[in-house]
């Protein structure tokens, strides 16, 4: 990523959005919703212990690849 040096503030490009614009919060909320849509499952983090192989197989999400 290149680094640009400016001799004065007037040489800098204009901001693409104002910092106090109320639309900024809406955009961040939309972006977070988009990122949450990439979560694979709603599993709890950590290790889950099962009593049997059948119980572990039953806990798998549908369409999960075994390989």
pLDDT digits (tens, 9 = 90+) for 34-58: 888 777 666 677 888 999 989 988 8
pTM over 0.75: no
Q: How many CA atoms lie within 13 A of 26 on its CB side?
A: 3
Question: Does residue 18 lie in a domain region?
Answer: yes
Q: Which candidate, 6, 24, 8, places its Cα nearest to that of 16? A: 24
Question: Does residue 63 lie in a domain region?
Answer: no
Which range marks the domain in which residue 25 is found? 9-40
Question: Does residue 59 lie in a domain region?
Answer: no
Q: Average pLDDT, stretch 20-27?
A: 91
- Cα–Cα distances in angstroms (integers) from residue 27 to residues 20, 22, 24, 38, in the given order: 13, 9, 5, 18
Q: H/E element holding 29?
A: helix 23-36
User: How many domains is the chain partitioned into structurally?
Assistant: 1
Surface-to-core class of residue 2, CB atoms within 10 Å of its CB (0-12 exposed, 13-18 middle, 19+ buried): exposed
Question: Does residue 36 lie in a domain region?
Answer: yes
């Amino acid at each position: 990523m290149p680094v640009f040096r400016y001799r004065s503030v007037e040489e800098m490009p204009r901001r693409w959005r104002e910092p106090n614009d109320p639309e900024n919060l809406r955009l961040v909320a939309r972006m977070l919703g988009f990122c949450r849509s990439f979560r694979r499952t709603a599993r709890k983090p950590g290790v889950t212990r099962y009593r049997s192989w059948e119980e572990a197989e039953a806990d798998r999400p549908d369409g999960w690849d075994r390989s």
